[in-house]
Amino acid sequence: MLVTTPQTDFEPIHSMLMNNSLSSKAIIGAVELHIFDRLDGRALTAAALAEEGGWVTTRLEPLLDILVAADLLTRNNGEYTNTPVASEFLVTTAPLYQGDCMALTMRFASSVENAIAELVAGGEVDRTEADNGWALEKVMEGTAQDACGVALPRVVQLVAGLPGFHDFRTMADVGGNHGHYTMGVLEQNPDMRGTIFDLPHVAEQSRLRCERFGFGDRIATQGLDFRKQALPAGQFDLILMSHILYGFKGDLGSTLGKIADGLKPGGWFVSHHFSRHQTNGGEMAKASLELITRLAGYPSHFIEQEELSEHLASAGFTDVRFEPVSAKGLGLMTAARKPA
């Protein structure tokens, strides 16, 4: 029989195939074309914008319509302008600009997305480039943009609200990279100093960045592989780890033991990482993040509250608290105290 009547509906899958990867690439393309810079605070027709940019109107128009569908532009009487989200995050000069962060996320996905079958069957991605890339200026900038755009203010707020915060004098930021978490905390307490610990080639770039932001005299940077080396013992009022604990997931017990050793009695450990089992965040986003992560050869991008609670208790931490970063995201903040 030539004509078979479908019994179920394949349309949603078909539109998913059409939408998903194209719409994200369309947004990146629009950022590269500086469309949001040109439409910030003014409304233009596709033809006027195309003339300004030297582009082809009939090709620009459907791109603008994707941006309307993504709630990044509005269209009124044929004129397009930025939505507040586009103005806040996609205009190059905006304090919370996310362009480099988006490029970074897409690059992470692109390392696996065309080889899924091969990687599920056991193929390996070459991780050298990704692992070495943390020190590259663009990667560091993208990572900083990601932090600034979402979690940084919440993590700083949580730290600044910890009991005794104004008596804190020293902090360590393990895997601190761009240094914004340390700089953000130090801004809240003028008597504090910080040390950023990261892999040696990254720590050198962290130092240059902290100097550039005016924190050169309050932040030290030190090359350290936390997998193989320990922090100085009993030195810190606060040890912060943002988006790095995943790498130690198979060995959380001894890792938390090393963190406890680095803290002064009564000092606080704060972690910020993704958790899958929150009610927040879409299932597709969670599953996609984990697929990319595992295919790229990393153990996981999630650490759950229950798992961490158990290990924190075994390592002797008390006063354990958890807070989501936002209502819609996957970020989970954890704070726990070493007994005084």
Which position among 25, 169, 212, 227 is part of the footprint of ligand SAM (CB under 6 A)? 227
104 vs 312, beta carbon nearer ligand SAM: 104
- By CB atoms closer than 10 A (0-12, 13-18, 19+), residue 24 is middle
Cβ atoms of residues 273 and 330 within 8 Å = no
Which position among 147, 183, 231, 303 is part of the footprint of ligand SAM (CB under 6 A)? 147
126 vs 251, beta carbon nearer ligand SAM: 251
Tokens 């000069």 correspond to 93
Site string for ligand SAM, 163-202 (x = CB under 6 A): ------------xxx--------------------xx--x
Residue 91 CA to residue 41 CA, distance in Å, equals 11
**Own/partner pairs, 125-134, CB within 8 angstroms, 24+ separation:** 125/295, 125/296, 125/297, 127/296, 127/297, 127/298, 130/296, 132/201, 134/177, 134/198, 134/199, 134/202
243 vs 337, beta carbon nearer ligand SAM: 243
Site for ligand SAM contains 243 (CB under 6 A): yes
Tokens, residue 272: 């910020």
46 vs 330, beta carbon nearer ligand SAM: 330
Among residues 255, 252, 266, 272, which one has the least CA distance to residue 162? Answer: 266
Sequence-separated (6 or more) residues with CB below 8 Å from residue 260: 269, 315, 316, 317, 338
List binders of ligand SAM among 127-146 (CB under 6 A): 134, 143
100 vs 198, beta carbon nearer ligand SAM: 198
List binders of ligand SAM among 320-339 (CB under 6 A): none
Distances, alpha carbon 272 to alpha carbons 196, 213, 252, 302, 322, in Å: 16, 23, 15, 11, 10
Among residues 216, 224, 209, 227, which one has the least CA distance to residue 194? Answer: 216
146 vs 237, beta carbon nearer ligand SAM: 146
Length of the chain: 340
Candidates 77-85, 224-232, 256-264, 285-293; binding stretch for ligand SAM (CB under 6 A): 224-232
Site for ligand SAM contains 101 (CB under 6 A): no
168 vs 197, beta carbon nearer ligand SAM: 197
- Least separation in angstroms between residue 94's CB and ligand SAM is 19
Site for ligand SAM contains 73 (CB under 6 A): no
Site for ligand SAM contains 100 (CB under 6 A): no
Three-state DSSP at 190 gives: coil
Candidates 58-66, 73-81, 84-92, 239-247; binding stretch for ligand SAM (CB under 6 A): 239-247
- Least separation in angstroms between residue 255's CB and ligand SAM is 10
- Least separation in angstroms between residue 219's CB and ligand SAM is 14
50 vs 301, beta carbon nearer ligand SAM: 301
Residue 25 CA to residue 59 CA, distance in Å, equals 15
Count of residues near ligand SAM by CB under 6 A: 17
69 vs 230, beta carbon nearer ligand SAM: 230
List binders of ligand SAM among 19-38 (CB under 6 A): none
Residue 105 CA to residue 243 CA, distance in Å, equals 14
Distances, alpha carbon 149 to alpha carbons 144, 219, 308, 324, 326, in Å: 8, 23, 26, 15, 12
Question: What is the contact surface with ligand SAM in residues (CB under 6 A)?
Answer: 134, 143, 147, 175-177, 198-199, 202, 224-227, 242-244, 247
